[in-house]
Structure formats: structure tokens, C-alpha cells
Structure 1
Amino acid sequence: MTDFINGWYGTVFYTEKEQNLHVSGQVGVCAPLPPHVPTKEVQICESTDFLQNGYFCVENSVSEQALRDARTYVNAHYKQWVKTSKRQDDWRCHLMVDLTDAESPVEHPALMNLLLRSPALLGRIEQLTGSGVCSIFYSQVAFRTPLSTKQIAQQMTHPAPDYSPGAEYHLDGQANSSGTRFPDPWSVLVGIALVDICTEDKGNFTVFPGWHTRRDWSQYPDEKRTKTLPDLGTPTHVCLKAGDAVIAHVLLPHRGGKNTISSSTTASGHTSQGTSSTTIPAEEDQEGSVIDSDLIASAPPLSLPKQKHTANHAPPVPHPYGGSERWDIPANTREMVFFRVRVHGVDYESPQRGPAILCDPWCEFPSVKAVVPGVD
């Protein structure tokens, strides 16, 4: 596996902002899949959900050991990433990783293993697209640290300007600013929950079901820039248990939710460490391209008193696995890892790729309709 983060890959360009979100970590070889593990094929109900809604959920898609390894790995780097990253709670860990050579080392293998050691996810991607995973366009550790009581009150009294609730969404693509890349050159979004996200107030991955095919999205970049996006109605807050995953179409409108679970106490009543950043944008879509969040956060931020981390004064967050090392991830944080997946057989560098999938959202999913009886 080779990591391409030098700006250009084929005809794809990474902006300086995107590269600044990349965080460094361990380099190693991903563990192979266990031998003789059967590939789990997509179920008819899942294909129907994907066809009609643009997404579906997969329960128990990742092993407990893989979850533990990933969370422990992130925790070991958490303080460093918060200190060095350009945006809190959102870290790009892989940019253009070629997966055709499984013996080559890759950065952050504990995170990549979440996908590569999951027959449930690999099998469903192959079944949907008719081919296997060939590369990761980028991966993203996407947390949602709980907002403080004051931050929640501030956001309630200062709603996002220029947007109705049904228009707070994005589609991934750098064209939101530069006009050079839309939609993003990948086919399948895979989001894996590292912790339980079972209520709708924990910063859930939020989607607008069915809107991947209900309108022509070719004018989306202009609509995003001019803040004239149509109101899509009430969204769905995707609830997941630890180890569950969501698989979504590249054209499905989505956003990240706000984590309004109290950050002051843990389940055991202990005071937690720190909270989020000191300024709160009107809406911050951490699951999308960095350009999206820049546009949405263009309104003047709310000025709040600087919040100090209280790690030296409050009881530490209990280690979830009983380890002796310090657990730095704040209590009640939403923890997810997202992969933008590319598959064999699609020429993502072709200038015709974007127009093709905008014209036919199923051109990269040849087997979806075939497995759903009665669908033309």
C-alpha cells in the first residue's frame, strides 16, 4: 500500500487545507483477513434500502478486538492530534491509499484494519459495485465532543444564518469552492461507529434519505456557494451501536449532528475532561469536505470565554478497557471512522466520471437493481 499525499494523484488535487487536516501516526502492514472467513453478501433488504434511501446499516460489522485496537490507537494520539490539527475532532488519516498491494505498509494500520478485516463490509461493497475495493480516497476520524451547556444555549439563541434546517447538508466535493472536483472521486462512504450512538443527540451522522436520486445535483456547487440549496425536509439521525457501520451512496446529502449530551459527567458521575473549541460555527459539517465547512462557518463565530481543559483538576475518564494508560478522549464523545472507498473498474480520474454518475447514479453499482426483485 502506498500513501499519495503530495498534492497530485492522477487528475485529483488536494488543497493545502485538506493536507493540513492529515495527521501522522504509526506505519505498518495491515493484518490479513482471518483464513476461511466467508464473505457476507448484501441482503435484499439492504439493497432495497440502498436503492431507495441511499444508505443502509450493517450490524456487528467490526470485531470487538478491531474496535478496541482502533480506539486505543486514537487515544494514544489524541492529545497530539488535537494540538497539531487545523480542526478539532476531525482528522484525515489516509489520502489516496492504494490497496492493491496488501504487503506494503500503510499509515495508521489500526484504523485501516477496521475496514480491511471486515468481511461483512468488504463483501457488501463488492456485492453493490460488482468489484472489490481498490483504494481509499481518504479516511477520516470524525469525533463529536460534547458541547458545553453554555455552547448549547448560544447555538439555540443564534441559529445558523441563511439556512433552514432542511438545507443544512452537503455532498462531498471540492467544487464547493474551486469548481475542480465534484462529486468527489469515490463511490461508497463507509462510517464505522467505535462507540454506541444510540440516541439522536450524540452528533449522529445525519442523512436525507432518497435525495441521492430525487433531483439533478449538477447545479449543487453553485447552489452551495450562493446559499440557495433546496430544503430537503426532515433528516434522519443514524443510530448505531459500537461495531455497526453505515454504507452510503456518494450522492447522498448528509451532515454531522451536534453532540448535546452533557459533557460535565460520565455515566459513573465523574467530571469529564475539557470540551470542544472556544468558538462555535453556525454549523460544522465534519463529515464533508473541508471546503463545505468553511462555507457554512462563514458567519461570524460566537465568542465564548476560553475554556480550559481540566485534566489536572478533575477525575480522569475511566479507561474503557481497564488499561493503566491515561484515557484522554473526553467522556460521551461520538467516535466514528469514515472511509471514502474506490472500487475496481471505475476511472475516477476521467473528466467524464463526474457527469456520468450525476446522470446515472447507479452507473457504478451495476448489481444493485439486479438483486432487488421487481425493480426496473
Structure 2
Amino acid sequence: MTGRRPTIIDVAQKAGVSKSTVSLVLRNSPAVRAETRDEVRKAMAELGYVYNRAAATLRGSGAGLIGLVINDLRNPFFTEFAISVQMALTDKGFATVLANTDEDTRLQAQVIAAMIEHGVSAIIVSPAYGADDGGFDAISRAGIPALQVLRQADRSAPAFPFMAPDYPAGGRIATRHLLEGRPNRVAFIGGLEGRGVTLERNSGYHEVLAQAGMAPLVLPGRASRAFGREAARLLTRAHPEVDAALCFNDLVAMGLVAGCAEIGRAVGAGGLRVVGFDDIEECGQIWPPLSSVSCDIAGFGAAAASTMLAWLIDGTVPPPKRLSPVEMRVRASSAIGQPERNDAR
């Protein structure tokens, strides 16, 4: 470090904490544990770091601010997640700046750069998929904690740890549930080909069907109601043997249910049995009520916020990958007998 003054990043590296944790120590934040504070101050002393309070005041308007970057806020699943994170962070005295990237990695890079420029302490990102880095390089250069949630675009863990519901387990329990009705054939509907989240959600489906000796049928497509409605006609016309369907998400499943109503096909017992994925609030409000794989999105959002705060304040780096449990919520769209129950994983 000869020839230049030590920086806050140097202190963070020596103390084994994040840059944001050092900032909190410099501001005498009571949120930092005494042991962590002592380690940071020891590192400062050994490096000869001198705190420039005037400069810090100029750049510190983002203190206590956490960026939340979401790939598609039009989808109620992601909206429910964002709300749960924001409420959990607010409860701990942190503010949230929220951005929707509309599945565009270039826009994602722009909003991440803007958040860093405005001094966010950390970033939680549900990333868009794309060929470019989507702003992860900028996060690395800034030296702030960043947590990937729900989907994993950058797999360079442990730099960007990943949290998500256990999608493969969800596919398994949903497919087993559909097989309980002794169907002729079970289809998996929706999800764009090649995307990690699609592969994760239908991997359990493929696994269980292989064990049962049943051939899979995958109809890929956009994760939208519109595609689900189209799929209802396609199934009836080209695959009349299909009498059970696991959908990539609840939007596809709701579209499938609506499409069946349009063409006069029954859904549920005696008709096409349908299961969605995510268990958004609307699942219990449509007719027939939609069975779905519940990801406990409110609980997951609170856990993501707690994980980030532990990293930011205490320097507790999350594991490279953490999956949360899921469960099957059975309603009339797929029920054989009693329509309301929870099936353990």
C-alpha cells in the first residue's frame, strides 16, 4: 500500500467485513456488534486509516439505503416478494430504493450503476437473463454486498450468494400429487427454454415421471396468462390424452384455466387437473381455486432481508446457495377428493 493512503475498502478487506460494515462503524451505528466494531477499528489502526468526515458527509446520503432490483414487477409473485423485503427492511430502520428492469439486462446495469452512485449500502437483485453482466461487475468494483434471489443469472458465487425457494422439490411434490389421480399423461406448460429457473422448476417433474415410467410432454412458452390460454387449445387439439398439467407459474396456470373455460373443457376432478407454481394471493380467488406450489413468498422475502442485514451489519457472509422449503397447496383445480390441504415436502 506504499505511496497511497489506505481506503475504506482496504480496511474492509483487512477486517474481513463488507465496505458497508466499515461505514456503519465510522458512523458509530449501534447496529454493529461490539466484536465486529473492535475488529474494524483494529484494522484501521494497523493500516493507519484516517477518516475524512467532511468527505463522507458529502457522499453519505445513501446511508441505511438498500437497493432492490426486480426483473418483472408486473408479475404478482415478484411484487409480493418486493413488498415483503421492503417491509422487513423498514422494520429494522433501513430504507429501500426499488427498480423494475423489465427483463432487460442493460436496464438492470443502468439502475444498479445509479444505485451505487447514490450510495446504497447493499443490493438485493432478482436478475434478468442476458448475455452481458447486467451490472454485477459494477457491484464488484463498488465492494458492497449483493444477494441474488429467486433466480440466478451470475453464478460466480460466493461473490454473489443466491437464495431461492426449492424449485426442484416443488416440481417433485406437484407431479406426485398429479400422479395420485392416475392420469393418462402429465404435461409441463410454460417457461422459456434454456433459462435456469425453467430447468429448475421442471427438473422435479422429469425426475418423478421417469420414476413412474411415464413420458414427459413439455410445452415451453412465456410465463404469462396469454400463453396459458393458447396452451388450453393446443392441448385439446394436439394432445387430447393429457389430463393433468403442471404449469411453470400461476399466471400460466390461470391462463390455462381461463382457456379451458373458453372452449368448454372442465378443470379439476373429472376434467383437466391443473397445478400452478408460486401460490400468489389470487390463486384462492379464481374459479375453480387454483392448486399451486407454495413458496411462502412473504416468509422468503423476510428471510432475504434478514440475510442481507446480517451480512451488512455483522459481516456474516451467506452461503453460496440457500434453498427454502416449499409445500403443495391443493385446491379444486387439481383435487381428487378433499380440495383444501397442505402436503408436506
Q: What's the TM-score once normalised by structure 1's chain length?
A: 0.24
Bigger share in helix = 2
* Higher relative contact order (CA closer than 8 Å, sequence separation 6+): 1
